[in-house]
Structure 1
Amino acid sequence: MNHTVKYGGFWIRTAALLIDTAILFTVFFIPFLPMIFGEPPQSITPVILIYAAEYIVALAYFIILPVTSWQGTIGKKLLGLKIVNEHGEKLTIGKSILRYLSFSVSGFVLYIGFIMAGFTSRKQALHDMMVKTYVVKSRTSSVAEPISGQAAFK
């Protein structure tokens, strides 16, 4: 039995991002607690090291999690979403890196690239269109209707 893919729209994707932001904020805030409530560091080196570590964690979070069996971040997993390529398959590490790098384009002019997810037929934000990815509801069995000239999701 074939069902049409259900795409993750703007509001559920926004909710997932808010969850991710809360998680990352908490993780990033904890290393600074000793500096906030204790003695200030004697040099800038610890601050730079913490920021560098946090940047690496954020990269891993948004690049590595989409290529795992979860196919998305913790926020997406909690809300029943996953990120797939144009064939409905898990992203490769290369595609995930490109998707992450293209986030900045989506946010470039008043976040219009993100808002596009609320108005496109397949609920794609600009960065999804750029790298041919989709955010789909993972709690539905699905076989997509093929786009002309493209293979259907499996």
Structure 2
Amino acid sequence: MPQTYIMVISGKPEGPFSITELKAKGLKPTDFVKTEAMIDYKEAHEILELREILGFAKPPVIPQYFGSFDQRLLASIIDWLIVTGVFVVPTLLIVLISPVKMLNMILSGSLLVVIPVAYLIYHIVMESGPKQATHGKQILKIKVTDMQGYPISTGTAIGRNFAKVFSVLTLCVGYMLNFFNKRQQCLHDMVAGTLVVKDRLV
């Protein structure tokens, strides 16, 4: 059965109306509507079905609560431990079992390249994924968004993580910028146009 909506007209609830009837009544993005199942009214542009059918733009979510420096640092430490553990533990087992010293040296030395590359890919995939956060960030309940609070694309995630080079090359001053702006952005956030926000409050 097609979904119907109750619409607030001149301060009074009327309906229910089908989507076709809502359109005929000139439903605007800021008009209040609800289904029978909804507890409270919402503006029409907040409802996915109405946005898709009537072409309303998704309302911006302006973040107000940002991830602090200590939360971001702790999340980074957790992520390093996770990524490092994934490669170090099996490599260590191979080194302990294998009698071939040359193989052991190659495996051990390759970690210096493999771990940073894996760490970079891990961040790009997780931050542009459904959770918008690495496992470390998820534990600390923070996530990465664009400047309007929306999820970031893979391209933005790539740019953000490569821009961390600038934060490091400035003798970590790029990270210290977190203390000196209202949105608590580091240099790489400014370059990529991203925010780290508290997940439960956005």
Normalised by the length of structure 2, the TM-score is 0.61
Structure 2, unpaired ranges of 5+ = 1-60
Note if 1:95 corresponds to 2:179: no
Partner of 1:58: 119
Where is the strand percentage greater, Structure 1 or Structure 2?
2
Q: Distance in 2 between the 1:29 and 1:114 partners? A: 28
Q: 1:30 aligns with which of 68, 79, 89?
A: 89
Structure (1 or 2) with the larger CA radius of gyration: 2
Structure number with the bigger relative contact order (C-alpha 8 A, sep ≥ 6) is 1
Partner of 2:146: 85
In the alignment, is the contact (CA less than 8 A) between 1:35 and 1:41 conserved in 2? no
CA RMSD of aligned residues (A): 2.5
* Structure 1 pair 85–123 and aligned structure 2 pair: CA distance change class (3 A): same
**Percent sequence identity over matched residues?**
28
Partner of 1:104: 165
Note if 1:10 corresponds to 2:61: no
Letter in 2 for 1:9: S
**Alignment coverage as a number of residue pairs:** 141
Q: Distance in 1 between the 2:112 and 2:135 partners? A: 22
Shift of 1:53: 5.1
Name the SS of the counterpart of 1:75 in structure 2: helix
In the alignment, is the contact (CA less than 8 A) between 1:8 and 1:81 conserved in 2? yes
Structure 1, unpaired ranges of 5+ = 142-154
Shift of 1:67: 1.1
In the alignment, is the contact (CA less than 8 A) between 1:72 and 1:83 conserved in 2? yes
Q: 1:73 aligns with which of 121, 134, 153?
A: 134
Name the SS of the counterpart of 1:87 in structure 2: coil
Name the SS of the counterpart of 1:139 in structure 2: helix
